[in-house]
């Protein structure tokens, strides 16, 4: 599993236990399976699995459109031709299930098919130790920016200060 994916998964685990700031930092770099504007192997395989309906190893616009249309119709439980949040949520979970399973398996270090608090804390502690540059037990936006995992649309030119 790529380091960026591990960081994103660990950051998501922090969100589960209340650390929304860390989750945002991990996901800001592109999230699961995204690498600088192109698909990694996992995402490409997931696209093929979900959209290559005739299993010929290539994706056509027709296959993609038909799959999207079919999922839309199935998810549109009230039949109004649109998806509200309640209709969209199960569809998104279905689409993201492979990545959800990957994240679960990453966190379930002992393979018990259950995630303990210790297993949730382990990647969080690794992230904190790497990002907390001044070892004060807290992450600032500045520390996250220096690590390249925080994007707020502004840049800090004074990176020589000790944090």
Segment 35-59 shows an average pLDDT of: 71
Alpha carbons 161 and 151: distance in angstroms, whole number: 19
Alpha carbons 131 and 149: distance in angstroms, whole number: 9
Alpha carbons 51 and 28: distance in angstroms, whole number: 27
Give the chain's mean pLDDT: 73
73-113 pLDDT per residue, tens = 999 999 999 999 999 999 899 888 888 999 999 999 999 99
119-131 pLDDT per residue, tens = 999 998 998 888 8
% of the chain exceeding 70 in pLDDT: 63
pTM of the model: 0.52
Residues facing residue 38 across a β-bridge: 35
What are the start-end ranges of the H helices in the chain? Answer: 3-16, 20-27, 41-51, 61-75, 85-107, 117-131, 141-147
């Amino acid at each position: 599993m790529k380091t960026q994916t591990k960081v994103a998964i660990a950051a998501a685990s922090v969100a589960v236990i209340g650390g929304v700031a860390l989750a945002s930092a991990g996901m800001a770099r592109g999230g699961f399976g995204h690498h600088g504007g192109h698909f990694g192997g996992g995402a490409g395989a997931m696209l093929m699995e979900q959209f290559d309906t005739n299993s010929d190893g290539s994706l056509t616009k027709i296959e993609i459109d038909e799959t999207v249309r079919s999922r839309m119709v199935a998810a549109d439980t009230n039949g109004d031709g649109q998806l509200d949040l309640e209709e969209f949520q199960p569809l998104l979970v279905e689409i993201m299930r492979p990545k959800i399973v990957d994240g679960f398996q990453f966190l379930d270090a002992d393979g018990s098919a259950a995630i303990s608090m210790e297993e949730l804390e382990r990647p969080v502690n690794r992230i904190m130790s790497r990002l907390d540059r001044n070892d004060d037990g807290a992450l600032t936006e500045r520390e996250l920016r220096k690590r390249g995992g925080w994007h707020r649309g502004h840049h800090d030119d004074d990176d020589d200060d000790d944090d």
